[in-house]
Amino acid sequence: MKKLWRALTKIIFWSYERGSWPYDVMVVLIVLFVLVTPRSLFHDQPQSSEQSGAGIAFVAQDAAAHTETYRLDVKLFSTPEVDGKPGPELERETHELLSHSVGNLKGQIFQVRRISPVRSDDGSLQYYEVEVKR
């Protein structure tokens, strides 16, 4: 029992000498784990700050009309609205943001149907409410 306990302690604290057979076995096991474990098990995807989904919130879904509504923070956009109405550049940028940031829209074909700017009491732009159809 004492031998087993000592072996477990050495494994946990990685205290085998480099080049010894237990060290080599542990390295081989780690390499096999990395190469054999399916990628889908970890759900790890690199995310940049603009594609992290921060600033995008799901609001509502209309199953009958196949539409979904999202709230997008104004800080996500580089293109301001023109004359109080969203322009084609804003629509293109909105489509790109949603297709890269929203999980169920990635790789899907969808249409941005409506972009509604929502303003605060002082008239400043707070966020856009965006309706998409799939």
Q: Among 66, 82, 37, which Cα is nearest to 133's?
A: 66
69 by Cβ neighbours in 10 Å (0-12 / 13-18 / 19+) ranks as middle
pLDDT in tens, 88-108: 888 888 888 898 888 888 888
81 neighbors 117 (Cβ within 8 angstroms): yes
pLDDT in tens, 43-90: 766 554 444 457 888 899 988 888 999 999 888 887 656 555 667 888
The pTM of this model reads 0.56
